[in-house]
Amino acid sequence: MIAQGMTAFNAAVAPTWLHGEAAAAFGTGLIAEDLPNMVPAVHRRLHAT
């Protein structure tokens, strides 16, 4: 749903960027189980700017 209206390229790279930002916000020691908790906060921060 988030990718609606995006170009194919942007729809492909947006989740990669979002996961990278979540990892940066979490810091060292991030594991896959941590991502579901971090992604919503990063998404909100993106839309707040």
Residues in Cβ contact with 11 at an 8 Å cutoff, skipping those fewer than 6 apart: 3
pLDDT in tens, the chain (49 residues): 567 888 999 988 988 888 899 889 888 998 989 888 888 888 888 788 7
Residues in Cβ contact with 19 at an 8 Å cutoff, skipping those fewer than 6 apart: 35, 39
Q: What is the pLDDT of residue 39?
A: 84
Q: What is the pTM of this model?
A: 0.68
